[in-house]
Chain A
Amino acid sequence: MELSGAEILVQFLKDEGVECVFGYPGGSVLHIYDELYKQEDIKHVLVRHEQAAAHAADGYARTSGKLGVVLVTSGPGVTNAVTGIATAYMDSIPMVVITGQVPTAVIGSDAFQEVDTVGITRPCSKHNFLVKDARDIAITLKKAFHLATTGRPGPVVVDIPKDVTDPNVKVPYSYLETISMRSYHPKVKGNARQIRRAVQLILSAKRPVIYSGGGVILSGAANSLTEITRVLNIPVTSTLMGLGGYPAADRQFLGMLGMHGTYEANMAMHECDVLIAIGARFDDRVTGKIEKFCPDAKIVHIDIDPASISKTVKVDVPIVGDVDSVLAEMLQLLRSTGSELNPVELKQWWALIDKWRATDCLAYDHDSDLIKPQFVVEKLWEITGGDAFISTDVGQHQMWAAQFYKFDKPSRFVTSGGLGTMGFGLPAAMGIQFANPGADVACITGEGSIQMCIQELSTCFQYMLPLKIINLNNRYLGMVRQWQEFFYGSRYSHSYMDALPDFVKLAESYGHVGMYIEKPADVEGALKEAFALKDRLVFLDFITDQTENVYPMIAAGKAHHEMEMSPKSVLI
């Protein structure tokens, strides 16, 4: 079959089963857009800014089990998308980003809309390619799909000069079912000896705790994690990225750990004697001061990326492999030996944990005349039956979402954990809705973050995406304000959000429904009303208490047991 480069590209996407592409046209991708026009199998979603295309593909990937595909033009198309690519890279999200490039003949001549895409995206993508010949498009895309979805997933950029997609140059095309690369062999199965050592160590523990991360979600290991946690009857805590990997309402779940983690989770980390890290990478927001991290613990670390192991914290039993596969083997081993942990020691450990739990570290004022942001998230959880897809932006609202929406299922919580990208929430929610039509999708955001990609309200109207935007509007860049209050003598340097738009009118001008809520008594009714509007986007502008802070908090340079507690929690 002889096809042009553009035809090959579109045909390849069809052959790979791609259903949805997020993009924005421009000069160097016009040949490709012309091919997209001639077909109906692949849906193209036209965003309003390339950053949103990458975030939408990211949200799509996180909640569909498929990779996200992005198509943007050269130059500013690429630079706009870079924030989205870096976001996906930090959170290991499978994504292929197809970028137009100026024609090969003028590369390097500072041509119009030329930028060194491969150079710019090298440090923020898993890998990238420049395709210089139409004959290489299919194999390069195949490699890109393979790299993006296997091993530790991540975004892969494929840069294609305009002449390579020229409709008049036809070359042979056949779809490759599989590909192997001599330099790339991600390990799936864990080393049997290491797995045995890990199981022995866990069984010898008196105060064990599981620290689970985003790798559990990415590997589809939520069931295995739940099973092994229950078989061992030990406590489990989760990173921001791992939420939903274990049912949050369950007794064995301690809540999130780290900088804004629960008292019980952080204390359990500090006091544990065996730490089982599963698909987590010892991020600085999790570990606190590294020298004081889990001072008494032997550490087991399961991760697919060898470079994540002993990167910041030296571990005792490293296991490189796919989390689900390793957990399955550990379970099998536990079952076949029939051993269990010392029940007396375990009972004492649980008693200690329950004591920590009694501090009620997430307590907040329920009698305030002002809307407490935590209350909004709690009500949202109730009204959606805990079953909505939640995306967030970055800041205080993100932490409250993590603390107060109890995720029972994996892939329900979509947030920019690693890069911490404000502006992520709305476009990510669009991607989620495309992947899950008919599902309840809410974006928990703040008046600062939402304005970073507000233009996507237009995309939402074009495609009639019935998102619910939960704007926790405290007229401050809340997390910045919180740090300024704690560490900068309440000098609120440029954290006040002055001259805010009327969000209700703004939503209405984009064709959506807007609601303004300023009384605690109206929160529940507004949420119910919004979610009853099944086919409309509703922008809920909650005017919240400006002074509210996120607790508990581990300040920079402090250890897990040195938490700042909420004035409302019960000291023990």
Chain B
Amino acid sequence: MRHIISILIENEAGALSRVAGLFSARGYNIESLSVAPTEDASLSRMTLVTRGSEEIVEQITKQLNKLVDVVKLLDLTEGAHIEREMMLIKVRATDSSERDEIKRLADIYRGNIIDVSKTSYVIELTGHNGKLDSFIQSLGDIPILETVRCGSMGIPRGEKSLHL
């Protein structure tokens, strides 16, 4: 099953490699990983998407908790939560009908065209990762020049939150 785990970790050199190293050493799989400092500069927040049986995910959370740099973690999959991912995608856009079609698609998916050249558009799109996949599918024959995705981020709904 797919699990999305949020981790508060000391914002120190090597913290990321401790997490990545744990996954490779124990043969766990990382589907995506995104990390950045929080409002408290001494802490980073990491969102990690992994897959495994209940037993494996239990071991993953225990092993993560055991890392000395990990301050706190939460398996978001255990409760209601919001998940978002951002994508920047560069597509070929030369003739006007192609350009219109891309603009329409971007609007439907509530994306923004953030860069325009004579031959290309860059579209910024945010949403659940399934929505981003669907957008790519919808592009059909339009040639994709580049795709950048940040990996999923998540936050619990309502009162529940992951903080110190």
B21 touches A183 (CB 8 A): no
**B side interface size, CB within 8 A:** 20
A119 within 8 Å of B by Cβ?
yes
Task: Point out the residues of chain A lying under 8 angstroms from B17, CB to CB.
Answer: 119, 122
Task: Point out the residues of chain A lying under 8 angstroms from B10, CB to CB.
Answer: 183
Among A126, A182, A309, A310, which residue has the most Cβ atoms of chain B within 10 A?
A: A182
A130 touches B21 (CB 8 A): no
Docked complex Cα distance between A307 and B55 (Å):
11
A118-B68 CB under 8 A given contacts A306-B62, A310-B58: no
A438 within 8 Å of B by Cβ?
no
Task: Point out the residues of chain B lying under 8 angstroms from A182, CB to CB.
Answer: 71, 164
Binary flags per residue of B29-62, CB closer than 8 Å to A gives 1, else 0: 0000000000000000000000000010011001
Binary flags per residue of B1-23, CB closer than 8 Å to A gives 1, else 0: 00000000110011001100100
Task: Point out the residues of chain B lying under 8 angstroms from A119, CB to CB.
Answer: 17
B25 within 8 Å of A by Cβ?
yes
Docked complex Cα distance between A130 and B17 (Å):
14
A123 touches B21 (CB 8 A): yes
B123 within 8 Å of A by Cβ?
no
Which residue of chain A lies nearest to B64 when distances are taken between CB atoms in the complex? A307
A184 within 8 Å of B by Cβ?
yes
Docked complex Cα distance between A367 and B71 (Å):
63
Docked complex Cα distance between A310 and B65 (Å):
15
Which residue of chain A lies nearest to B68 when distances are taken between CB atoms in the complex? A127
A305 within 8 Å of B by Cβ?
yes
Docked complex Cα distance between A126 and B68 (Å):
8
B69 within 8 Å of A by Cβ?
yes
Q: Within the complex, which residue of B9, B55, B66, B69 is in contact with A310, where a contact is CB–CB below 8 Å?
A: B55
Task: Point out the residues of chain A lying under 8 angstroms from B69, CB to CB.
Answer: 127, 183
A307-B63 CB under 8 A given contacts A122-B17, A122-B18, A130-B13: yes
B93 within 8 Å of A by Cβ?
no
B62 touches A184 (CB 8 A): no
Docked complex Cα distance between A122 and B21 (Å):
8
- Where chain B touches its partner, the secondary structure class is helix
Q: Within the complex, which residue of A183, A310, A311, A314 is in contact with B68, where a contact is CB–CB below 8 Å?
A: A183
Task: Point out the residues of chain A lying under 8 angstroms from B125, CB to CB.
Answer: none
A88 within 8 Å of B by Cβ?
no
A344 within 8 Å of B by Cβ?
no
B65 touches A123 (CB 8 A): no
A86 within 8 Å of B by Cβ?
no
B59 touches A311 (CB 8 A): yes
B68 touches A123 (CB 8 A): no
Among A147, A305, A307, which residue has the most Cβ atoms of chain B within 10 A?
A: A307
Task: Point out the residues of chain B lying under 8 angstroms from A314, CB to CB.
Answer: 55
Interface residues on A, range: 10 to 19
B68 touches A306 (CB 8 A): no
- Identify which of residues 163-191 in chain A touch chain B, using a CB-to-CB cut-off of 8 Å: 181-184
Task: Point out the residues of chain A lying under 8 angstroms from B25, CB to CB.
Answer: 123
B70 within 8 Å of A by Cβ?
yes
Task: Point out the residues of chain A lying under 8 angstroms from B13, CB to CB.
Answer: 130
A305-B66 CB under 8 A given contacts A123-B25, A182-B164, A311-B59: yes
- Identify which of residues 291-348 in chain A touch chain B, using a CB-to-CB cut-off of 8 Å: 305-307, 309-311, 314
Which residue of chain B lies nearest to A181 when distances are taken between CB atoms in the complex? B68
A184-B68 CB under 8 A given contacts A123-B21, A123-B25, A310-B58: yes
Docked complex Cα distance between A393 and B13 (Å):
38
Docked complex Cα distance between A310 and B59 (Å):
8
Which residue of chain A lies nearest to B8 when distances are taken between CB atoms in the complex? A183
Docked complex Cα distance between A182 and B63 (Å):
17
Docked complex Cα distance between A101 and B14 (Å):
17
Q: Within the complex, which residue of A183, A306, A307 is in contact with B70, where a contact is CB–CB below 8 Å?
A: A183
Task: Point out the residues of chain B lying under 8 angstroms from A306, CB to CB.
Answer: 62, 65-66
Docked complex Cα distance between A317 and B105 (Å):
55
Among B55, B62, B69, B71, which residue has the most Cβ atoms of chain A within 10 A?
A: B62
Docked complex Cα distance between A181 and B59 (Å):
23
Min CB distance, B67 to chain A, in Å? Answer: 8
Which residue of chain B lies nearest to A123 when distances are taken between CB atoms in the complex? B25
- Identify which of residues 87-142 in chain A touch chain B, using a CB-to-CB cut-off of 8 Å: 118-119, 122-123, 126-127, 130
Task: Point out the residues of chain B lying under 8 angstroms from A184, CB to CB.
Answer: 68
Docked complex Cα distance between A307 and B164 (Å):
22
A147 touches B164 (CB 8 A): no
Docked complex Cα distance between A183 and B12 (Å):
13
Min CB distance, A290 to chain B, in Å? Answer: 12
Task: Point out the residues of chain A lying under 8 angstroms from B66, CB to CB.
Answer: 305-307
Task: Point out the residues of chain B lying under 8 angstroms from A181, CB to CB.
Answer: 68
A307 touches B62 (CB 8 A): yes
B18 touches A307 (CB 8 A): no
Task: Point out the residues of chain B lying under 8 angstroms from A183, CB to CB.
Answer: 9-10, 68-71
Task: Point out the residues of chain B lying under 8 angstroms from A147, CB to CB.
Answer: 68
Min CB distance, A493 to chain B, in Å? Answer: 29
Which residue of chain A lies nearest to B60 when distances are taken between CB atoms in the complex? A307
Min CB distance, A356 to chain B, in Å? Answer: 33
Task: Point out the residues of chain A lying under 8 angstroms from B58, CB to CB.
Answer: 310
Which residue of chain B lies nearest to A183 when distances are taken between CB atoms in the complex? B71
Task: Point out the residues of chain A lying under 8 angstroms from B21, CB to CB.
Answer: 122-123
Min CB distance, A254 to chain B, in Å? Answer: 30
Task: Point out the residues of chain A lying under 8 angstroms from B164, CB to CB.
Answer: 182
Task: Point out the residues of chain B lying under 8 angstroms from A310, CB to CB.
Answer: 55, 58
Among B65, B68, B69, which residue has the most Cβ atoms of chain A within 10 A?
A: B68
Task: Point out the residues of chain B lying under 8 angstroms from A309, CB to CB.
Answer: 62
Docked complex Cα distance between A306 and B63 (Å):
9
In the A-B complex, the 9 residue pairs with the closest CB atoms? A307-B62, A183-B71, A127-B68, A307-B66, A123-B25, A306-B62, A307-B63, A184-B68, A122-B21
A sample of 21 inter-chain contacts (CB < 8 A) reads A119-B17, A122-B17, A122-B18, A122-B21, A123-B21, A123-B25, A126-B68, A130-B13, A130-B14, A181-B68, A182-B71, A183-B10, A305-B66, A306-B62, A307-B62, A307-B65, A307-B66, A309-B62, A310-B55, A311-B59, A314-B55
Give me 9 other A-B pairs in contact (C-beta within 8 A), A147-B68, A181-B68 excluded.
Answer: A119-B17, A122-B17, A123-B25, A126-B68, A127-B68, A130-B13, A184-B68, A307-B63, A307-B66
